[in-house]
Protein backbone atom coordinates (compact mmCIF):
# COMPACT_ATOMS: atom_id res chain seq x y z
CA UNK A 1 0.00 0.00 0.00
CA UNK A 2 1.37 3.40 -0.94
CA UNK A 3 1.99 6.01 1.74
CA UNK A 4 1.97 8.93 -0.72
CA UNK A 5 -1.18 10.70 0.45
CA UNK A 6 -0.02 11.06 4.05
CA UNK A 7 3.62 11.86 3.33
CA UNK A 8 5.11 15.29 3.97
CA UNK A 9 8.35 15.99 2.12
CA UNK A 10 10.92 18.63 3.03
CA UNK A 11 13.14 19.51 0.04
CA UNK A 12 16.37 21.42 0.67
CA UNK A 13 17.72 22.58 -2.70
CA UNK A 14 19.50 25.85 -3.48
CA UNK A 15 18.85 25.83 -7.23
CA UNK A 16 15.45 27.54 -7.46
CA UNK A 17 14.34 25.87 -10.71
CA UNK A 18 15.26 22.42 -9.41
CA UNK A 19 13.43 23.09 -6.14
CA UNK A 20 10.32 24.24 -8.03
CA UNK A 21 10.49 21.24 -10.34
CA UNK A 22 10.79 18.80 -7.44
CA UNK A 23 7.95 20.51 -5.56
CA UNK A 24 5.67 20.48 -8.60
CA UNK A 25 6.43 16.87 -9.51
CA UNK A 26 6.09 15.55 -5.96
CA UNK A 27 2.84 17.45 -5.40
CA UNK A 28 1.39 15.97 -8.60
CA UNK A 29 2.33 12.57 -7.12
CA UNK A 30 0.23 13.41 -4.06
CA UNK A 31 2.90 14.47 -1.58
CA UNK A 32 2.80 17.61 0.54
CA UNK A 33 6.04 19.56 -0.05
CA UNK A 34 7.91 22.37 1.72
CA UNK A 35 11.20 23.76 0.39
CA UNK A 36 14.24 25.61 1.69
CA UNK A 37 17.26 26.88 -0.23
CA UNK A 38 20.04 26.86 2.36
CA UNK A 39 21.19 25.17 5.55
CA UNK A 40 20.16 28.18 7.61
CA UNK A 41 16.66 28.38 6.15
CA UNK A 42 16.28 24.59 6.41
CA UNK A 43 17.23 24.59 10.11
CA UNK A 44 14.75 27.40 10.81
CA UNK A 45 11.91 25.83 8.81
CA UNK A 46 12.52 22.38 10.33
CA UNK A 47 11.74 23.90 13.73
CA UNK A 48 8.30 25.02 12.49
CA UNK A 49 7.08 22.24 10.22
CA UNK A 50 6.40 18.53 10.49
CA UNK A 51 7.84 16.37 7.74
CA UNK A 52 8.25 12.66 7.09
CA UNK A 53 11.13 12.64 4.60
CA UNK A 54 13.97 15.06 3.93
CA UNK A 55 15.27 15.27 0.37
CA UNK A 56 18.51 17.20 0.56
CA UNK A 57 21.00 18.57 -1.92
CA UNK A 58 24.55 18.09 -0.68
CA UNK A 59 26.13 21.27 -2.02
CA UNK A 60 24.40 24.23 -0.40
CA UNK A 61 25.50 27.88 -0.37
CA UNK A 62 26.12 27.97 3.39
CA UNK A 63 27.17 24.40 4.11
CA UNK A 64 26.44 20.89 2.99
CA UNK A 65 23.61 18.43 3.20
CA UNK A 66 25.64 15.88 5.17
CA UNK A 67 26.17 18.29 8.06
CA UNK A 68 22.56 19.47 7.82
CA UNK A 69 21.23 15.90 8.07
CA UNK A 70 23.46 15.19 11.07
CA UNK A 71 22.27 18.42 12.73
CA UNK A 72 18.60 17.62 12.13
CA UNK A 73 19.06 14.06 13.42
CA UNK A 74 20.20 15.49 16.75
CA UNK A 75 16.83 17.25 17.00
CA UNK A 76 14.63 14.28 16.07
CA UNK A 77 14.64 10.96 14.21
CA UNK A 78 15.11 11.53 10.50
CA UNK A 79 14.41 9.75 7.23
CA UNK A 80 16.55 11.41 4.58
CA UNK A 81 17.47 11.05 0.92
CA UNK A 82 20.60 12.68 -0.49
CA UNK A 83 19.84 14.30 -3.87
CA UNK A 84 23.00 15.45 -5.57
CA UNK A 85 25.15 15.61 -8.67
CA UNK A 86 27.89 13.99 -6.55
CA UNK A 87 28.27 10.43 -7.77
CA UNK A 88 31.67 9.23 -6.54
CA UNK A 89 31.91 6.35 -4.05
CA UNK A 90 33.43 8.70 -1.45
CA UNK A 91 30.31 10.91 -1.64
CA UNK A 92 27.94 7.96 -1.42
CA UNK A 93 29.86 6.61 1.60
CA UNK A 94 29.69 10.02 3.26
CA UNK A 95 25.93 10.07 2.66
CA UNK A 96 25.67 6.73 4.42
CA UNK A 97 27.72 7.97 7.38
CA UNK A 98 25.46 11.05 7.61
CA UNK A 99 22.41 8.77 7.91
CA UNK A 100 20.82 9.08 4.47
CA UNK A 101 18.63 6.13 3.50
CA UNK A 102 19.39 6.62 -0.22
CA UNK A 103 21.75 8.66 -2.37
CA UNK A 104 19.98 9.70 -5.58
CA UNK A 105 21.99 11.26 -8.37
CA UNK A 106 20.36 14.26 -10.04
CA UNK A 107 19.13 13.32 -13.48
CA UNK A 108 17.93 9.90 -12.34
CA UNK A 109 14.40 8.97 -13.45
CA UNK A 110 11.75 10.70 -11.32
CA UNK A 111 10.20 7.33 -10.52
CA UNK A 112 13.43 6.40 -8.75
CA UNK A 113 12.97 9.34 -6.40
CA UNK A 114 9.41 8.22 -5.60
CA UNK A 115 10.71 4.69 -4.93
CA UNK A 116 13.34 6.17 -2.60
CA UNK A 117 10.68 8.17 -0.73
CA UNK A 118 8.59 5.03 -0.27
CA UNK A 119 11.70 3.18 0.95
CA UNK A 120 12.49 6.00 3.37
CA UNK A 121 8.96 5.85 4.77
CA UNK A 122 9.41 2.14 5.48
CA UNK A 123 12.81 2.83 7.08
CA UNK A 124 12.74 3.16 10.86
CA UNK A 125 14.09 6.65 11.55
CA UNK A 126 16.74 7.21 14.14
CA UNK A 127 19.43 9.76 14.82
CA UNK A 128 21.86 6.94 15.57
CA UNK A 129 20.85 4.25 13.07
CA UNK A 130 23.15 3.67 10.12
CA UNK A 131 21.45 1.13 7.88
CA UNK A 132 22.95 0.10 4.58
CA UNK A 133 22.65 2.80 1.95
CA UNK A 134 21.18 2.09 -1.43
CA UNK A 135 22.21 4.21 -4.41
CA UNK A 136 20.37 5.13 -7.54
CA UNK A 137 22.26 6.16 -10.64
CA UNK A 138 21.00 6.20 -14.19
pLDDT tens by residue, 25-69: 999 999 999 999 999 999 999 999 999 999 999 999 999 999 999
- pLDDT at position 134 is 42
Domain residue spans of the chain: 4-136
Question: Taken in order 83, 87, 91, 92, is the CA torsion positive or negative?
Answer: positive
- pLDDT at position 126 is 57
- pLDDT at position 124 is 76
- pLDDT at position 129 is 38
Q: Please calculate the CA angle 74-78-79 and round it to the nearest 5 degrees.
A: 155
Cβ contact 62:40 at 8 Å: yes
**101-128: per-residue pLDDT in tens?**
999 999 999 999 999 999 999 987 755 4
If one looks up domain 4-136 in CATH, what number appears? 3.40.50.2300
DSSP category for residue 26: H
Residue 96 pLDDT level (bands cut at 50, 70, 90): very high
Q: Which stretches within the chain are classed as H helix?
A: 16-28, 39-48, 65-75, 89-97, 110-122
Question: Taken in order 5, 10, 13, 17, is the CA torsion positive or negative?
Answer: positive
Residue 137 pLDDT level (bands cut at 50, 70, 90): very low
Amino acid sequence: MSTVKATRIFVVEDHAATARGLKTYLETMGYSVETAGSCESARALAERIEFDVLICDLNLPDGNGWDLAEFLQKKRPLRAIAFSAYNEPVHIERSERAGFVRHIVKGTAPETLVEAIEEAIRHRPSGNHRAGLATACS
